[in-house]
Every structure is written in C-alpha cells, then in structure tokens.
Chain A
Amino acid sequence: MPVSAADVAAAAALARLQLEPGAAAGLARELESILAHVETLAAAHVDGIPPTASAADVPAALRADVPAPEGLQVPLEAMAPAWRDGFFTVPRLAAHRGDRSHE
C-alpha cells in the first residue's frame, strides 16, 4: 500500500516528532519499502485465530488495589530539580514568562 508524505506527516504529528523540511517524502519511501514486506502478512491463514498481545501463557498478575509504598530507594524530593509544597517545580514555558497567573 502506498505511503504518502502526508501519511508520514500525520504519523509524525501524532508521535510528537518534527520533520525536517522535505524529509517526509524520503521517509515515506522508506516506510513503503518496509510495508511492502509487511503486506505478506495478508496471505497468512489466520481464520479463527484470535489476536494475541502477549508471549506469556498466564495473564499478567494484578496486585491488591490498596496503597503501597513508593518503592523508591531515595525520597522523591531528593530526585527533583526543584521542589515546593510537595510538588516538583519545572522551568516555565516561554509562553508563560511574564504571566504570573500560571505560577
């Protein structure tokens, strides 16, 4: 199935990735060459076989839904670049500079 530059641009936007100007067309050709091999899957006889998302033959274990210790080896605040009132503080975005209402 053909892959267009627009398809690549759409996927990149969903993946939060910027593309260099003109890169989408080349990437589309690369993806198309990969998907040409993937298309062979359509010939596989899988009628009646349910899809599986796991290699495990037992379901993932669930623990009791009760609060548990963090399991961290150092306190959370020791890992924070900055910490205030029980929250991490992070650098302000440029759009918020000068706008104190977001503090």
Chain B
Amino acid sequence: MSDALHRRSIAGIAGDVASGVQQATAVVRAALSDIVRCESGPDRLNAVISYDHDAAVADAAAMDRRAAAGDSALPLAGVPVAIKDNICTLGLPLTCGSRILAGYEPPYEATAVQRLRAAGAVVVGKTNLDEFAMGSSTEHSAFGPTLNPMDRGRVPGGSSGGSAAAVAAGWVPAALGSDTGGSVRQPAAFCGVVGLKPTYGRVSRYGLVAYASSLDHVGVFGRTVADAAAVLDVIAGHDPLDATSVRAEQPALSGAIRHAASRGQLPLQGIVAGVPDEYFPDWVEDGVRAACSTALDTLRELGATIRPVSLPSTRYALPSYCVLATAEASSNLARFDGVRYGVRTRDAATVDVLWELSRSAGLGAEVRRRIILGTHVLSAGYHDRYYVQAQRVRARIRHELDDVLASGIDVLFTPTTPAPAFAPGTHAGDAWGSFQSDVFTVAANLAGLPALSQPVGRSGGLPVGGQLIASRWREDVLVRVAAALETGLAA
C-alpha cells in the first residue's frame, strides 16, 4: 500500500493528509524511495539531479504538524513535488544543468515554490534540464541526458525533460517546469503527461533563472488535468517581486473542472474549438495526425463544435522565436561571468580574460551557440533586419491569434509536436533541428496565451500530445475542455 501512496491524485493525497487519515511523511518517504531506488540503479532515468532526503522528510513532518494543528489552508497537503533546476529553492543547489553554477545555492526561493510549500506541498527533488533551458531533448545538460520513462531509447523532450520524466515515472503527481518556447508542453507530449503553460503574467517568474524574459513562463506538469490545475491554482496570482506579474481575475480551476463534470448536458455543449489548418501540414507524422483526429471526434461527441480556422502567420512563429529568444538570452546570460555568478577560472591576467575563460569553460556548446547567434542578430547591421523584424512579426502573430479567439472560438486544438519522441542524437549536427520540435508550441509564448498539452493517443507505442490554446486569462476554459477530453478519451 505504502508504495502507492504518492501515485494517487493530488486531491486524494491532500484530502487524506489534511484530515489526518494519512501522514505526509509516509507519502514523501514513498516518493523518495522511488526516486532513490531508480536514480541510484543501473536503469536510472537521470531525471532528478539533486535531493535532500532528510530535509524533505523533515518538511513532511512539519506538514503533518500543521494538519494536526487544524491548518485548513492546505490544498496540497503532503503532496510531493519536483522542481526544474532553473527555479530557486532554499536548501538545494541551483545548477540550471550547467557547470558554470557548480556549488551555487540560492539565498532565496522562487515565489511559485514558496506558494507550493505554503499550500502544504513538499519538494522532493530538483530535475534535470537542457542547460539554461536551451533545448528540446534534455540531452544538453552538464549532468548527462535524461531518458524517457515511456521508452528509454527516446528523449523525454525538453527543456523540462527531468520534470516530465519524474511525473511520467510516477515519482511525483506534479512538478514545476519552465516554458519559453514549449519546454513544458513538448516534454509533456513526449512523456505522456499533462503540461500546462499559463498566461504570461499569471505566475510569478521571481526565482526563475531567465532565458528569454519576454517568453519565459513557469508551468506545471501533472499526471492528470485536475492535478495540473490544482497546482496552478496555488502558484498563480500577483507578485510584487515580478514586474511582469499581473493582477488578473483568477477563477478556481479545480472548481471549473468540477462544474463541467456536474452539468446535466453534454460537458462541452456551447464550446467552439478552432482547428487551424496550418498546424496540420503534410509533414505531421501519420500517427500524430490519427490521434489528433480521434481527439477531435471525441470533442465533438462531448458537445463541442469544431470549426476550421486560419492562422497564416504560423510559418513565421519559429523563425521569430529563434531570433527573439537568442537575443534575450545573449543579454540575460551575460551575468554568468565568473564574477557575479559562476565558477571562476583561476590565473586570468585581466578582467576581460577572466570573463572569457570563465564563460567559455562553464557554458556548454548549445548555450554558447545560442548566445553567439543572439549577439549576432543584435549587432550593428543586423539589428533591424533580424531583431526588429522579428518583433513586428511577433505582434502580427499575437494579433492574429487574438482575432481568431475573439471570433467565437473558445479554444484552438493542434498537435503539440509534429512527431512523437525522437531518439537521442537525432538533431546532432543539425542546428535548426534543435528548434524544430517546438514548431507548434512557440506561438503561444510569442502571444502570451495559456496553452496545455495532454495525451491524446499513441503512435508506434509512443505518447502523442494534443495542444489546446485559449484566450488570455482563460485557463478556466482551457482546463474545462482538457478535463472533459481526458475523460472522453479514457471512456
């Protein structure tokens, strides 16, 4: 029985712990037992790169004392969670999957993590990632690659591959990741779990190490839509420590799911789902196309109206993202210089050499390539041609999405990725290929819209993700449709 404690739903765990039926310490010990057993054995996934067993059990014991004292504000009581290692936590190292941050332990904690702990969750580990969140496979980490628990011969996606793998392996019911161009939704699709990226400004980025600030979002992985929604309910909300955090109405997502399920009529009656033709080109893999077709049939059976729509600027999304993300990265990562942060090269004769040697030794090849690309597109002679044009295209993409979603469309449905998880090394030597599996996810980042990936079937035995995109601040619509689809596909 104890082995299954942490594999239950968040509502089940939290309800039992808050009411004293179950001990948080037992739940957390069960999660840690799975993590330690797998990650210290020959079949390790390399998904969790740091943890503090004793501290996590102590946190769980403190949680039990809060429950015993009658603390009722514990929607995540005793829920073990994993945190992507580019999000600051107290008491654990922060590496961003990079050598340059070896030995760094943050002196403060991300707002999202603080809110998780306040709600009763217990952090059981930090998860692997592509270095500084730059990648789509979790192959580009100084700690080695993470394997996909659904098929160890495939990548788990990235950059939040460790968090996706930890949830897919059943170690934790939920985990935090970050999503700059699809880094929550794409690994969720590859690992067969739910990945939810909120509206830009919904969740504080305070304590998230910046890759591309205007595109970065803290996102959530869950085994189910309800689990992901329960975590987002807790971490969402205005934070004065993040200047881009927005005071916005915040409907309870868990309530929206319950409300939909309790209606007497078809659960998606009145919902209109738009299907953009541009997201179903002929190079989408057949199995992905078939799974998405089944999902659309299911949405229709649930009462939704399916309507074709057009988003002609879609073809510009990935090139625009590529320019903007690398340009912002070239600025954001300037701080890792061996002085303010980072491992310092010894015996540099001048400050210039100190910077160059420290950064060159500490940053991996993919990060260095993206920084150089970002610096190039910002440099004299190229700034207007690349950077300013990408900013204009971004505005066009955003207007186009807003216009479609304002034309009676509640959600858009697309594949999350054009193909299921690929084999390690597939994109080695293909510079553009490392961006390509984000081709269907980047638009939601450029526009700041909430988006979610959920399992919609299999192709060749591998999970396939379907993506839903909703209007700004309408995560309630997103999870309502996703939860109904999840139930419908399971029936």
Find out whether the CB atom of B350 lies under 8 angstroms from the CB atom of A95. yes
Contact segment of B67-75, B284-292, B296-304, B311-319: B311-319
Inter-chain CA distance A11–B214, complex, in Å, is 22
> What is the minimal beta-carbon distance from B465 to any residue of chain A, in angstroms?
22
Find out whether the CB atom of A91 lies under 8 angstroms from the CB atom of B344. yes
| CB within 8 Å of A: which B337-365 residues | 337, 339, 344, 346-352, 354-357, 359-360, 363
Inter-chain CA distance A66–B56, complex, in Å, is 39
Tell me whether A34 and B389 are in contact in the complex, defined as CB-CB below 8 angstroms, given that A71-B108, A91-B344 are known contacts.
no
Q: B108 touches which one: A61, A73, A90 (CB < 8 A)?
A: A73
Query: Which of A44, A49, A55, A60 neighbours the largest number of chain B CB atoms within 10 Å of its CB?
Result: A55
Tell me whether A17 and B448 are in contact in the complex, defined as CB-CB below 8 angstroms, given that A10-B379, A11-B376, A61-B243 are known contacts.
no
Find out whether the CB atom of B322 lies under 8 angstroms from the CB atom of A46. no
Inter-chain CA distance A79–B351, complex, in Å, is 23
Find out whether the CB atom of B372 lies under 8 angstroms from the CB atom of A18. no
Q: Give the interface SS of chain B, mostly helix, strand, loop or mixed.
A: helix
Complex contacts, B396 vs chain A, CB 8 Å: 44-46, 49
Complex contacts, B109 vs chain A, CB 8 Å: 73
- The yes or no answer to B12 lying at the interface (CB within 8 A) is no
Q: B371 touches which one: A17, A18, A93 (CB < 8 A)?
A: A17
Query: What number of B residues sit within 8 Å (CB to CB) of A?
Result: 72
By beta carbon, the residue of chain A nearest B352 is A16
Query: Which of B215, B348, B391 neighbours the largest number of chain A CB atoms within 10 Å of its CB?
Result: B391
Find out whether the CB atom of A38 lies under 8 angstroms from the CB atom of B322. yes
By beta carbon, the residue of chain A nearest B363 is A17
- The yes or no answer to A82 lying at the interface (CB within 8 A) is no
- The yes or no answer to B240 lying at the interface (CB within 8 A) is yes
| CB within 8 Å of B: which A1-50 residues | 1, 3, 7-8, 10-12, 14-18, 27, 30-31, 33-35, 37-42, 44-46, 49-50
Complex contacts, B377 vs chain A, CB 8 Å: 38
Inter-chain CA distance A54–B216, complex, in Å, is 11
Complex contacts, B349 vs chain A, CB 8 Å: 93-95
| CB within 8 Å of A: which B202-258 residues | 214-215, 240-241, 243-246
Find out whether the CB atom of A8 lies under 8 angstroms from the CB atom of B322. no
Q: A33 touches which one: B385, B394, B431 (CB < 8 A)?
A: B431
Find out whether the CB atom of A17 lies under 8 angstroms from the CB atom of B389. no
Complex contacts, A94 vs chain B, CB 8 Å: 347-349
- The yes or no answer to B441 lying at the interface (CB within 8 A) is no
- The yes or no answer to B368 lying at the interface (CB within 8 A) is yes
Find out whether the CB atom of B388 lies under 8 angstroms from the CB atom of A51. yes
Find out whether the CB atom of A16 lies under 8 angstroms from the CB atom of B201. no
Complex contacts, A46 vs chain B, CB 8 Å: 389, 392-393, 395-396
Q: B446 touches which one: A55, A56, A57 (CB < 8 A)?
A: A55
- The yes or no answer to A52 lying at the interface (CB within 8 A) is yes
Q: B391 touches which one: A1, A15, A51, A63 (CB < 8 A)?
A: A51
By beta carbon, the residue of chain A nearest B351 is A93
Q: A71 touches which one: B90, B241, B371, B392 (CB < 8 A)?
A: B241
By beta carbon, the residue of chain B nearest A36 is B432
Show 26 residue pairs from A and B whose CB-CB distance is below 8 angstroms, ordered by the A residue.
A11-B373, A12-B372, A16-B356, A27-B369, A31-B369, A31-B373, A31-B376, A37-B432, A38-B322, A38-B386, A39-B319, A40-B319, A42-B385, A44-B392, A44-B393, A46-B393, A52-B391, A52-B395, A54-B448, A55-B398, A57-B448, A63-B240, A79-B107, A90-B339, A93-B350, A95-B349
Interface set of A (CB-CB < 8 Å, partner B):
1, 3, 7-8, 10-12, 14-18, 27, 30-31, 33-35, 37-42, 44-46, 49-58, 60-63, 71-74, 78-79, 90-91, 93-95
Task: Give 8 nearest A-B pairs by CB, closest first.
Answer: A55-B448, A51-B391, A46-B392, A30-B431, A55-B200, A11-B375, A18-B360, A52-B395
- Excluding A34-B322, A49-B396, A51-B388, 4 further A-B contacts by CB distance (< 8 Å) are A8-B372, A34-B431, A38-B323, A49-B395
